[in-house]
Structure 1
């Protein structure tokens, strides 16, 4: 740039050396001079040096405002890559544009750092984000500067510090615009794909070389609303698919499965793979699969087999047990469910009552109640004793009719091989003597409800799905007891045991038949008498 710019830079250094640091007034003067003439271009590096989280806030804000005002009008003339300028015969305009490219790259890097750094003040973070987005939308001919935005998102995703403050700014202010959402999904798809392919080293996270990194927004705004929504959904799904292919940590895996059915289901393979994992991951994947099956016609042949295998005691103590049990009840609601499947699920639930907490037993009773009402063909399980079938030959029946024998195999994961159709719900009968009064009372209602079927309805699982030890205890404490049982005797007992309880034994009072006994000594006689009360000592003078 010429002698003027060199003199200006020298003057700037002189002012800085005298005071030791720039004042707010001096920063404003540098900004005004930069905007007034190319002769003061060397003020730009001085102002760029102030864009740091550690710089004084007032100076950084003033420098940022000046630099933003300087570069926005020049964006269309900034080349896509720094020109290779060599020799004294180089075009001065080419030299100027190359210089602009370098300074602009430095500005973008500084703005990204200010936006992401936890040491940045909220005011400078907000202004830095606005400046970045201003550059993004100010491309030539209305083009979206996707390279700048991609660099910003790349650093945002790979940030080591918390990005919650920045997301709170970015979401409400910019995600309401269709083009921002569109290019956000595009960048996230690229970043996730590069991470999944372990090729982040070859990814150009900064500005693209060879082009200006801009893309036409006309495909977003110059179309109908239906077309825009279709394009956004397509990009959104691609971004999700790329993300779901990543080796996610267990906590992220659970968080995704907990909410994916509420927002988007872009990948059936992800849900089916999750359902095959087992345990709590399968429980959480069940929700998404259920929506696909009921609302989108997905066919999943082994669905009920895997659902049957999920019924373990751990499910009734899991964090998401409420949602799972509601879905379980919904999945078993169809009247077209084969009898052997209904019997297998009923028996499996019945066996679980022996090992689950009281709140879990109450939920199981409600589930079994609904299953028996929906599928009358399996009501024989309630009254079938010892698994004996009267229609079988007597010799086979006598071999299988063993006291305590149950043909049901609880370890079998295939419901068709479980033997539930030859078993009975004897476990439910044991709940009549459960240690928890709430369970014993509730299981008694099961028999009554099935007896007067026309007067009862199915139970709402949502009313029981949030149960726990605390809720059972709270309900028992709140119960109003009409009559408190007391221990009392109509006649005062004279012995600890009754003779009828122990034949051949006598528990009579040895003093009962003795009316009077005298003991002489020192002129005093003690007389023992026997009546319904303990023996009394009478002192008599002789």
Structure 2
């Protein structure tokens, strides 16, 4: 046994050579391992120890002898050989975990060496056996703990074959459970970065669904899809910054829900997000609507909560165009009751009186579409000035329940006010509601914004206004010298 405090690069090189050539020196692997775990060692000696272990296991991992599962050995095998095999396997696990722990080193050289060596070991294993989920999980955990975005990106490039996808998902799920405390909020971005790189769209497409039973890998694919489902649910329980929270919500309906086996498991997360209000509620809308319309989710509070979100202040928010676009989509269903559509139309019209011009144009177009899709709401437009609903509006703007706000007994008198708006586009759009039109829905014009609206009407002005170009002959500058300076 070589003493650690007297170990040099030369002695380590000699010891490594003996281990590679003489089986009786196999116990000395523990000595080299101690050099890796010893924190007081110099950087050069630690790098040399990692390099030595790589050389040793590059040779040992070239055959399947060490990976034979316990109990599967031949009956004639001697007990000593079986115990030696078990010891070698246990030692290998210790070596792998020790090298992975160095991925968190402050030294870039040690970090790089540990990453490359660990990945090399995992790749060598797969020649004879399936990728070890336990060792891959340890590898993934230390990469995430390192909080190195570059390392996560490099690992993402490895997540291509089935074994790696499954091992990565299981590793992330285990990591998320282990680091669910609020103190680990800074780790969530790296977990999200890695989880987002696991692409299973090829397994969830309709074409693949028809063929999956004919392939030998169908069982593995089934487990991958199942792991994808449980991993996302577990990850969403991790503490997250507000920015990451919004990033997840904005992409959930497009990148995650279509590939989940049971998207309804997201209901708790989405409902909690919907109840938070503000931008968070807005970002949760799309995913909730998809679960309701495509996955038969029973969520009666969706439209009442959406109604409460529609405030006058919201029409001044930066994300108002996105909200109105989604609202237009949510209200297109012909199965919606008349009182609900009338409530949204009335609340939109009522709040638009305080909205900026470019938002008013969009709101009026949404109301136009609502009237075309739901003829029962036309009565709100065609009630004349002598109607009781116009003389004394029964609508209750402070009522938060669309079923109790009396919108269906009211009228859209606000449109008459908007018809006299100083902005020509608003007046023109309002006047189209008074004329019989076809059933073709109008575009919302979300891309214009206030600047676009201003430029549009600026172009309508005459480019050559009339000017007095003849010099006046009766103007005497001397008479006005005390007033003007020429």
| TM-score normalised over the length of structure 1 | 0.65
- Mapped pair 1:481 → 2:461: yes
Report the equivalent of 1:506: none
Higher helix share: 2
SS at match of 1:142: coil
Mapping for residues 292-371 of structure 1, pairs under 5 Å: 292-316=291-315, 321-371=320-370
- How far apart are the structure 1 equivalents of 2:316 and 2:218? 45
Rate the CA distance shift 1:441–1:250 in 2: closer, same or farther, 3 A.
same
Match of 1:522 in 2: none
Following superposition, the deviation at residue 110 of structure 1 comes to 3.6
Q: Hey, what's the Cα distance between the residues in 2 that align with 1:434 and 1:71?
A: 83
Partner residue in 2 for 1:451: 435
Aligned: 1:414 with 2:401 = yes
Give per-residue Cα distances to partners, 1:394-433, cap 9 Å, x unaligned. Answer: xxx5xx765xx53222221111211222333233333345
Partner of 1:372: 371
- 8 A contact 2:304–2:402 mirrored in 1: yes
Contact 2:118 2:139 in 1 (8 A): no
Query: How large is the Cα RMSD of the aligned pairs?
Result: 4.3
Q: 1:14 to 1:171 in 2, by over 3 A?
A: closer
Residue of 162, 182, 198 corresponding to 2:147: 162
Matches within 5 A, 1:113-192: 113-117=101-105, 119-121=107-109, 124=113, 126-134=115-123, 137=126, 142-157=129-144, 159=145, 161-173=146-158, 175-192=159-176
Task: Check whether the contact 1:316–1:360 (CA below 8 A) recurs between aligned residues.
Answer: yes
Cα deviation, 1:273-302, whole Å, max 9, x if unaligned, reads 433443322222211122122222333223
Q: 1:415 to 1:48 in 2, by over 3 A?
A: same
Whether contact under 8 Å (2:173, 2:231) holds in the other structure is: yes
Q: Please state if 1:49 is matched with 2:35.
A: yes
SS in 1 for 2:135: helix
Deviation at 1:93, TM superposition (A): 6.8
How many pairs were matched up? 425
- Superposed displacement of residue 225, structure 1: 4.5
Give the aligned partner of residue 109 of structure 1. 97
Tell me the distance in 1 between the aligned counterparts of 2:430 and 2:139.
Answer: 62
Question: How far 1:168 moved relative to its partner?
Answer: 1.3
Residue 239 of structure 1: which of 226, 231, 243 is its match?
Answer: 231
Q: Which runs of 5+ in 2 are unaligned?
A: 72-78, 185-211, 258-262, 480-486
Shift in alpha-carbon separation, 1:335–1:443, aligned structure 2, 3 A: farther
Q: Distance in 1 between matches of 2:7 and 2:115?
A: 30
Q: Deviations over 1:335-357 (max 9, x none)?
A: 33222222111111112212333
Could you list the runs of 5+ residues in structure 1 that have no partner in the other structure? 1-5, 17-21, 81-90, 201-219, 390-396, 493-532, 537-542
For structure 1, which segment, 360-369 or 263-272, has the greater mean C-alpha deviation from structure 2 after superposition?
263-272
Which deviations, in whole Å up to 9, do the C-alpha atoms of 1:99-128 show, x marking residues without a partner? 756753552234323434464348536513
- Structure 1 residue 365, shift from structure 2 partner: 1.8
Counterpart CA distance in 1 for 2:155 and 2:236 is: 23
Q: Aligned-pair distance for 1:50?
A: 6.0
Alignment of 1:502-513 (within 5 A): none
